Chains A and B, each alone.
Chain A
Amino acid sequence: MATNDTDTPVDNAVRLSDYLDGELSEQERVELEAELESDEGLQAELLELQKTLGALQGLSSQVAPDDFVQDIESKIRVRSRGRFFDDDFFYRTRMPYELFAVVMFILMGAMYFYALPDAPNLGDDVAAMGGEPTGEEPEGGSQPEGDSPTGDRGAKGEGGKSDKIKEDGAKEDADKGDKDAPQGESPEGKGEGKDEGQEGKVPDGAEQGALPGNGAAPPAKISGAADKAPKSRKVVPIRREIVVYTLKITDNNPARRAKTMAGQIRAMGRQFKVTSSGSKVQVDLPQSQVGSILSAFGKQGRVSSMRLYAQSDKLDVNRTTIHIQVSAPGKKNKKANPRFP
């Protein structure tokens, strides 16, 4: 604490500072005030110091910028590599774009699957019988074969069809007037599901005289060519395959049973072309309907299937045949288990 028994300027200043700060004791304060009354120089010094301190306290208070906090957060975010103050950054900047991309991706996927046709059912039929699905499954089973024109399927198959096939078909159309464009298809296309579907379908439609919207050739030409197709058809061996089925049933009265079954199958729909002879029944039907027959009668006997191949484009791969054979129970057993003499 300063004392008033010093006469140096610094000591005077210390006393005056203490006086202004209220740090002097009561006695020191009284002594200094008495001295100030008699000493004009000291009085002027006090006044000057008082003005300076007053001016200091009157300095305007500086205010931090408005974005002060945000700048600090940003610096911490960067230095902590996003560990702190990162949530807002994530949602404000990056997330909307990523979220938008994800949502759009999901939407596109949903639209794609929604636009797909129903799953083929031929494969299900064959699988139910223990057979193998044929190559036509991806396209061939998508709708009842032969019952409807192939226009929509042709349009669908167009995507999977090779450009070579299209070009070949177009050339043939131009040169020979042959409107059965799929004749230009190469056997190499056999292994591809879509191409096979196209293969199997177009001749079918051509035979039926209906190929609207077939992508291989203009519909007008095709419809006009339907009648001429068998004559001008270019013979290109095409390896086709179908699966035929055999249902063996035993009954004490085979002929009556076969006749009854033929009637039942005819009653199931006109798509079943039934021919019966004695104890045998032959059903010509779309492949897609195989399951319905076998589910109705398959448990009554034993089902077997056989895969047939043909190098002919006249073979309708969309239809197949079920052979039903009814036999009497006694004969086979006697042969198989001859009675001991």
Chain B
Amino acid sequence: MTPSQEKKLIQRLKKRDEQAFRWFVRQYQDKVFNLVYRMLGDAQEAEDLSQEVFITVFKSIDSFRGDAKFSTWLFRIAVNQCKNRMKYLGRRARGRTSALEDVPEGVLSDSSLQAHVPRPDNMALGKELESVLQKAIASLEEEHRVLIILRDIENLPYQDIVSITGLELGTVKSRLHRARVALKEKVRRTYGDK
């Protein structure tokens, strides 16, 4: 979306243009849903929270000043709501990724990860490996999880991540590196246990 298109979209959203809002939701629903799903690890929770994200946008679009990209503002809302939801779920002891716990670890093998070629675009992961990764992501610290998802799953540039998280660029990079190392260790530990 070009900046002029984005500007027109924001103007229409501020007028509570329902047709524009529908279009906006359809444009971003998959990205937001994917982000939230990776953060929460539960499809039902992700659907509910993603809808809340868009409802928040509809309600508080007037507070968007245009300092950052509109998509960045949208992701910031999504990340903040994910953090709040995780705290809420943690308090209710529901912060677990129930969908992943059903996967028997015995089905995983060392070769399932190591045999894959390193090129990500050609990589076709099996369901089991994806479950392992999702479980590893879910076990990361909250800040590490956010950075891993934004950078390595959503492929956002560092500048956008800075806008979304409100962290300094250096902090983002250092935390991201630590998050990658932590994730790698968790995955290796999973396969080392086999």
Chain A interface residues toward B at CB < 8 A: 1-2, 9-10, 13-14, 17-18, 23, 47-65, 68-69, 71-73, 75-76, 79, 84-85
**CB within 8 Å: A-B pair count:** 125
Residues of A near B177 (CB, < 8 A) are 2, 10, 13-14, 17-18
Q: Is the CB of A57 within 8 A of B26?
A: no
| Residue B2, interface by CB 8 Å | no
| Residue B178, interface by CB 8 Å | yes
Q: Is the CB of B29 within 8 A of A57?
A: no
Residues of A near B113 (CB, < 8 A) are 51, 55
Knowing A10-B177, A62-B33, A69-B26, say if A55 contacts B51 (CB, 8 Å): no
With both beta carbons as reference points, the residue of chain B lying nearest to A11 in the complex is identified as B177
- Expressed in whole angstroms, the minimum distance between the Cβ of A15 and any Cβ of chain B is 9
Q: Is the CB of B184 within 8 A of A52?
A: yes
Residues of A near B168 (CB, < 8 A) are none
Q: Is the CB of B133 within 8 A of A59?
A: yes
Inter-chain CA distance A86–B188, complex, in Å, is: 53
Inter-chain CA distance A74–B161, complex, in Å, is: 32
With both beta carbons as reference points, the residue of chain B lying nearest to A12 in the complex is identified as B181
Knowing A60-B125, A63-B30, A64-B50, say if A53 contacts B18 (CB, 8 Å): no
| Residue B6, interface by CB 8 Å | no
Q: Is the CB of A54 within 8 A of B184?
A: no
With both beta carbons as reference points, the residue of chain A lying nearest to B52 in the complex is identified as A75
Chain B interface residues toward A at CB < 8 A: 16, 18, 22, 25-26, 29-30, 32-34, 37-38, 43, 46-47, 50-51, 54-55, 58, 113-114, 116-121, 123-125, 129-130, 133-134, 148, 152-153, 155, 173-174, 176-178, 180-181, 183-184, 187-188
Residues of A near B183 (CB, < 8 A) are 52, 56
Q: 24 A-B pairs, CB-CB below 8 angstroms?
A: A9-B181, A10-B177, A13-B177, A13-B178, A17-B173, A17-B180, A51-B113, A52-B183, A53-B120, A54-B120, A54-B123, A56-B133, A56-B153, A57-B123, A58-B125, A61-B34, A64-B32, A64-B47, A68-B25, A68-B51, A73-B18, A79-B55, A84-B18, A85-B18
Q: Is the CB of A55 within 8 A of B129?
A: yes
A55-B123, A69-B26 are known contacts; what are 8 more A-B pairs with Cβ within 8 Å? A2-B177, A13-B177, A56-B148, A56-B153, A56-B183, A61-B30, A68-B25, A68-B47
Q: Is the CB of A64 within 8 A of B33?
A: yes
Q: Is the CB of B184 within 8 A of A48?
A: yes
Residues of B near A55 (CB, < 8 A) are 113, 116, 120, 123, 125, 129, 133, 187
Q: Is the CB of B188 within 8 A of A48?
A: yes
- Expressed in whole angstroms, the minimum distance between the Cβ of A72 and any Cβ of chain B is 5
Knowing A17-B180, A72-B25, say if A56 contacts B173 (CB, 8 Å): no
Residues of B near A50 (CB, < 8 A) are 118
Find the residue from A52, A65, A75 having the highest chain B CB count within 10 A.
A52
